[in-house]
Amino acid sequence: MKAYTGKGDQGTTNLYSGERVTKSHPRVEACGDLDELNSVLGALISVFPADRNDLKSQAEHIQSVLFVAGAWLSTTPDSERFTAADSVAQTETEALEQLMDRMDGELPRLKEFILPGGHFSGALAHVARTVCRRAERHVAALCEEASEGKAHRELMELLKFLNRLSSYLFVLARYLNRLYGVNEAGWKNPRSDSKSPG
């Protein structure tokens, strides 16, 4: 099988449930965000400390959850495939909370806003966080359009997961910077700084 088909040359694509829609369709937008997030997580995994297989396992599990969520998002509520599918289980959100609490317990308390960056791994975690926030915004828009019922409940559960995941990625960024011994840069109000760049 070739890696290309040419079917999308006119700006349309197939949903998992079979419908042909434009590539700007809200569901396609949300799926694209999850795909992008998954790719950033893959890059992030590649720069984890070699001795932290626990972090790698956590991130790969999250990738798998996002893959399932993407398939669910690309299935319309009136499709036969939709009835047997779930977006994200509540237990996944709870698991993220437990992981965050564990990492947070080893971090110094935040006393100021911090700038995204630090070690390359921490910086990538911040990039993943911002992509996750975009996915969350697009799923929130789908929630507003969905009527009450299974579709709406599943969207809300996915929305909750993404909200928690973005927080997890923020904590992970701080945790990775601490593992690599890189200090976080605190935000300084440029209006109160007498020195300007250059």
Q: Please tell me the distance from the alpha carbon of residue 170 to that of residue 127, in angstroms, as a whole number.
A: 10
DSSP single-letter state for residue 15: -
Q: Are 43 and 60 in contact (CB under 8 A)?
A: no
pLDDT given for residue 8 in this prediction: 67
HSE-CB of 17 using CA atoms within 13 angstroms: 19
Q: Please tell me the distance from the alpha carbon of residue 192 to that of residue 83, in angstroms, as a whole number.
A: 56
Q: What's the pTM value of the predicted model, to 2 decimals?
A: 0.86
Domains belonging to the chain, first-starting first, are: 19-103+113-183 (1.20.1200.10)
- What are the pLDDT digits (tens) for 114-142? 889 999 999 999 999 999 999 999 999 98
Q: 85: pLDDT confidence band, cut at 50, 70 and 90?
A: low
CB within 8 Å of 122: residues ≥ 6 apart: 173, 174, 176, 177, 180, 182
- What are the pLDDT digits (tens) for 86-99? 778 889 999 999 99
